[in-house]
């Protein structure tokens, strides 16, 4: 049965469809005959008890530069829809958090994917700390003495913003690194919140695996190998996608965290694993499903829509 689907995302004309997971979800929704309306976060609003958006009918085509056709914008009541795809990219700031508060008013009567409360309560570099036994040593702090002690214990480290995304502002520091003082000052000025200091994992040179979980189950994986002059494996930072398989340790990680993802309504999640260590749990707008398919893996857009339709009790 066709569904009424609204997608909240960043401007669709700016996306690069070859690697865009939201676009893959839209292609599959269209192939199933679902009706799609599109709006950007700035057009979401709460009017009394109604959650509304100025939205445009959307059709998509897998042709770069001619990938989206929009109809005439009209005001919609999102409570009348079957599904809202919450697919805007970070930053995970107060604007993003406000979006989750608004969409929470219609969920689960209208199924929001991912659950807006689940997204709000799972900042990606904090939620992962619920599973310290799966992680490399990690400190979240802005206190100089605490960071000094952590570096003394663990040697080479990586520092990154707590609410950073896309590999921005990720720095590797040596054991006695003359840049540390300046970097500490920079982070102290740039960020009011604590930041992440994590033991450096040299095996990142061989890749950082992105594992996609759908409703708590591992469904696909891609290995992202950083460029030779970078420690960041994000594909937007020059990382190269390579075919790979799950190891026994990675399956253990997925089995450990899967039930909690499912409990929180986090239906589409991408986790990052380096050398058998969990480093991040990405819940806002995970990527990777087009790379998995391109490298011979399953079409995870199919698995995600199967899971959505199952939750709605649709055939």
Query: How confident is the model over 78-108, as pLDDT tens digits?
Result: 999 999 999 999 989 999 999 999 999 999 9
Specify the pLDDT at position 229.
62
Interval 7-25: pLDDT, tens: 999 999 999 999 999 999 9
Which of 151, 272, 290, 309 is the catalytic position? 272
Residue 60 has which token pair? 């998509």
Number of Cβ atoms within 10 Å of the Cβ of 315: 5
Confidence of residue 235 (pLDDT cuts 50, 70, 90): low
CA distance 153 to 149: 6
Q: How far is CA 168 from CA 185, 186, 236, 270, in A?
A: 17, 14, 10, 18
Specify the pLDDT at position 228.
60
CA distance 137 to 150: 9
Specify the pLDDT at position 166.
80
CB 242 within 8 A of CB 207: yes
Is 280 part of the annotated catalytic residue set? yes
CA distance 75 to 18: 31
Specify the pLDDT at position 241.
86
Residue 148 has which token pair? 């000094």
Which of 125, 209, 219, 264 is the catalytic position? 125
Specify the pLDDT at position 1.
83
- Computed over every residue of the chain, the mean pLDDT equals 94
Is 224 part of the annotated catalytic residue set? yes
Residue 237 has pLDDT above 70, yes or no: no
Specify the pLDDT at position 226.
81
Confidence of residue 165 (pLDDT cuts 50, 70, 90): confident
Is 125 part of the annotated catalytic residue set? yes
Beta strands in the chain (DSSP E): 4-8, 35-39, 44-47, 50-60, 68-70, 74-77, 83-86, 111-113, 138-141, 157-161, 171-173, 195-199, 208-214, 217-225, 240-242, 268-274, 277-282
> Coil, strand, or helix at residue 217?
strand
- pTM of the entire predicted model: 0.94
Which of 250, 282, 290, 309 is the catalytic position? 282
% of the chain surpassing 70 pLDDT: 96
Which of 87, 151, 160, 199 is the catalytic position? 160
Which of 87, 120, 199, 210 is the catalytic position? 210
Confidence of residue 29 (pLDDT cuts 50, 70, 90): very high
Is 272 part of the annotated catalytic residue set? yes
Residue 46 has pLDDT above 70, yes or no: yes
| Mean pLDDT of all residues in 274-293 | 95
């Amino acid at each position: 049965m066709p569904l009424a689907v609204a997608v909240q995302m960043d401007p669709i004309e700016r996306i690069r469809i070859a690697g865009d997971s939201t676009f893959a979800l839209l292609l599959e929704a269209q192939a199933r005959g679902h009706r799609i309306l599109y709006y950007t976060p700035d057009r979401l609003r709460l009017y009394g008890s109604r959650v509304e958006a100025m939205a445009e009918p959307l059709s998509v085509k897998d042709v770069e530069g001619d990938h989206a056709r929009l109809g005439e914008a009209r005001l919609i009541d999102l409570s009348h829809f079957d599904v809202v795809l919450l697919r805007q990219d970070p930053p995970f700031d107060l604007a993003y958090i406000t979006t989750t508060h608004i969409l929470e008013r219609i969920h689960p009567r209208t199924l929001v994917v991912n659950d807006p409360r689940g997204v709000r309560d799972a900042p990606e570099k904090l939620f992962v700390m619920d599973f310290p036994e799966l992680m490399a040593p990690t400190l979240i702090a802005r206190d100089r003495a605490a960071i000094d002690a952590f570096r003394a214990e663990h040697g080479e480290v990586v520092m990154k913003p707590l609410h950073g995304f896309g590999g921005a502002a990720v720095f590797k520091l040596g054991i006695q690194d003359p840049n540390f003082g300046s970097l500490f000052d920079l982070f102290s000025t740039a960020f009011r919140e604590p930041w992440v200091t994590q033991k450096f994992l040299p095996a990142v040179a061989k890749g950082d695996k992105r594992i996609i979980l759908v409703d708590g189950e591992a469904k696909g994986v891609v290995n992202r190998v950083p460029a030779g002059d970078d420690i960041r494996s994000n594909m937007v930072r020059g990382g190269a996608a390579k075919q790979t398989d799950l190891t026994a340790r990675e399956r253990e990680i997925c089995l450990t965290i899967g039930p909690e993802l499912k409990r929180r309504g986090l239906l589409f999640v991408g986790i990052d694993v380096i050398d058998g260590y969990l480093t991040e749990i990405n819940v806002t707008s995970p990527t990777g499903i087009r790379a998995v398919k391109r490298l011979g893996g399953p079409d995870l857009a199919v698995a995600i829509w199967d899971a959505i339709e199952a939750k709605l009790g649709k055939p």
